[in-house]
C-alpha cells in the first residue's frame, strides 16, 4: 500500500514539473513574439510587395478561364511555346511574347519583340515599362489585370 502512495506521489510531482516546463516554454515563445511585434524571420525574408494577374478575357485560350489568378514571383515569361512559364494558346501570341519581372520591389513588363505587340492600358509598348496594380495587359486576344 505504501508503494502505491509513493508511486502516485512521484507521478504527480513529475506531471506537475512537465506541466510547468510546457507553460514556461509557451510563455517564452509568446514573449518573443510580442517583443518582435509579431514579425518572424519568414516575414523578413519576403520582398516588400507581390503581384498577380487576373484573366479578364481568355480569348482563344481555353486553358485559362476568366477570373483565374496567376501569381508573379520573381519573373515570368509569357508565350505560345512550352518553354514559357505561362503558355498562352492563342494564334496572336508570339513564341516568347513578353516577360514580367521584379527589380528593387518594382514590377516591369517587357515586350520580347513580339509580332503583334504587347498592350498596356490600351497603348502598345516597346521594350520595358513599369507596371502597377490595376494596370491592364493585353497579349494577343487575352487580357489580364494586375492585382496586388
Q: How does pLDDT run along the chain (148 residues), one tens digit per residue? A: 687 888 889 999 999 999 999 999 999 888 888 877 655 554 444 445 789 999 998 887 778 889 999 999 889 999 999 999 999 998 999 999 999 999 988 999 999 999 999 999 999 998 999 999 999 999 999 999 999 8
* Secondary structure class of 26 (helix, strand, coil): helix
Q: C-alpha 116: how far from its chain's center?
A: 29
What is the 3-class SS of the chain, one letter each residue? CHHHHHHHHHHHHHHHHHHHHHHHHHHHHHHHHHHCCCCCHHHHHCCCCCEEEEEEECCCCCCCCCCCEEEECCEEEEECCCCCCEECCCCCCCCCCEEEEEECCEEEEEECCCCCCEEECCEEECCEEEECCCCEEEECCEEEEEEC
Amino acid at each position: 500500500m505504501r508503494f502505491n502512495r509513493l508511486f502516485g506521489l512521484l507521478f504527480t510531482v513529475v506531471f506537475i514539473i512537465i506541466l510547468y516546463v510546457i507553460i514556461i516554454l509557451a510563455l517564452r515563445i509568446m514573449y518573443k513574439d510580442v517583443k518582435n511585434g509579431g514579425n518572424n524571420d519568414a516575414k523578413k525574408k519576403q520582398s516588400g510587395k507581390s503581384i498577380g494577374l487576373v484573366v479578364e478575357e481568355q480569348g482563344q485560350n481555353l486553358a485559362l478561364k476568366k477570373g483565374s489568378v496567376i501569381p508573379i514571383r520573381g519573373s515570368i515569361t509569357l508565350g505560345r511555346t512550352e518553354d514559357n512559364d505561362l503558355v498562352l494558346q492563342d494564334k496572336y501570341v508570339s513564341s516568347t511574347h513578353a516577360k514580367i519581372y521584379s527589380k528593387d520591389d518594382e514590377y516591369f513588363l517587357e515586350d520580347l519583340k513580339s509580332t503583334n505587340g504587347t498592350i498596356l492600358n490600351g497603348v502598345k509598348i516597346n521594350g520595358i515599362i513599369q507596371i502597377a496594380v490595376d494596370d491592364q495587359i493585353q497579349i494577343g486576344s487575352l487580357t489580364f489585370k494586375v492585382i496586388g
